[in-house]
Amino acid sequence: MNKKKTILSSAIALALTSSIAFADANIADVSQDGELNEAIITQTNAGGSTASVSQLGDENQSAVSQTNSSQPMHATVDTTGNNNTANITQDDSWHATADITQVGNNNEATISQTSIADNSIATIDQINSSATNVASIGQTSFANNALITQDDVKFSSANIDQEAILSTATILQNGNNWYLQADIQQVSGSLHTATINQVNNGGGWSDHSMATITQSGTAQNATITQDSSYDSNATVNQSGNDHLATVFQGYGDYNSADVTQTGGENIANITQSGSYNLAITSQEATLNVATVDQSGFYNDANILQTGVSSIATVTQSGLGVFDMMNVASISQLGGVSDMATITQSGLGGNTATITQQ
């Protein structure tokens, strides 16, 4: 049985007009085509708000609640498929706009832009045969911008949590990838930017990969790209100010990258295009640069810098094996303007250690 409805029911209208103190220019529209769909719109004390829900399919659930802002608020839920769930809540949010689009089945999306979330924009797209994905955005403070796109991705999750000023976070998990996990946490400080990109675009799969960015402090910038990197993990954790971290995991499998930066104005770059590689960079103090480039197999790199204006570089293209890894370690402790470089190629079983105090 197929039913098509355009609803502005008395119950919804009552919710829109029962406690209007600012203005009565609210607009709400619900369009449903299918069976057992459910849509709820509540706009209270939110003059000038617009909410629109469109559901094409069966057993979809959508809820929009916009409260206590004179103008303007916008919320749009556009669902095509079956058994999708979408929730938008904009509480006392000036300039807030939220958009959820789900094409596929069994997807779940949540946007919450809470008290005094000025100039916030949040967009979640789970489209092109997406299935059983979960996406969540939470924003407070002002001038936040968050975008989650999971295109032709299945059984994956993406989460953005921002409480800081002028933060921007982007998660893209595109291509025919399964079981991806991406998480961005920017929960204190200001002026942050974070990007996670797990793509396919006709290349190898990035299934079962995980990417996490956690930033606090001021003016942090982090990017993780996992492209054709199966079952790989990347983590960036930055506190302090003005750090830059870039992790790229390309063709290769079972790679792990970890960046930790405190202090100020540190730069870390990790590139992994082989398999079974491990890279760890940890930088404290200020103005340090750490670079790891791994293109072989079973390589292990560890850089620790606690001084000022030091540069460390590890390049590994060796073809190690499980019980004969190539190992490179650089520790520059407390010095100023130290420089260290390790290059390993050939087969496995090589070990290099540099310590400068």
Residues 182-210 have a mean pLDDT of 84
pLDDT at 25: 67
Residue scoring higher pLDDT (244 or 230): 244
* pLDDT > 50? residue 4: no
Tell me the pLDDT band of 2, cut-offs 50, 70 and 90.
very low
Ranges 45-54, 211-220, 262-271, 336-345: which has the least confidence: 45-54
pLDDT at 272: 97
* pLDDT > 80? residue 16: no
Residues 113-117 have a mean pLDDT of 75
Query: Between vectors from CA 170 to CA 167 and to CA 175, what angle results, nearest 5°?
Result: 175
Q: CA 200, 206, 207, 208: dihedral to nearest 10 degrees?
A: -150
DSSP-derived letter for residue 258 is E
Residues 61, 77 contacting (CB under 8 angstroms) = no
Burial class of residue 263 (count of CB atoms within 10 Å of its CB; 0-12, 13-18, 19+): buried
Task: Identify the three-state secondary structure at position 88.
Answer: strand
Tell me the pLDDT band of 15, cut-offs 50, 70 and 90.
very low
* pLDDT > 50? residue 239: yes
Residues 199-224 have a mean pLDDT of 86
pLDDT at 325: 95
pLDDT digits over 27-63, tens only? Answer: 889 999 999 999 999 888 766 688 999 999 999 999 9
Name every residue whose Cβ is closer than 8 Å to that of residue 254 and which is 6 or more positions away in sequence.
230, 231, 232, 275, 276
Most confident of 45-54, 67-76, 144-153, 278-287: 278-287
Q: Write down the pTM of the prediction.
A: 0.89
pLDDT digits over 71-96, tens only? Answer: 778 899 999 999 999 999 988 767 88
* H or E, element range at 29: strand 27-34
Ranges 17-31, 75-89, 216-230, 254-268: which has the least confidence: 17-31
pLDDT digits over 293-323, tens only? Answer: 999 999 999 999 999 999 999 999 999 998 8
* pLDDT > 50? residue 14: no
The proportion of the chain whose per-residue pLDDT surpasses 90, expressed as a percent, equals 62
* pLDDT > 90? residue 350: yes
Give the domain ranges of the chain. 1-112, 276-357
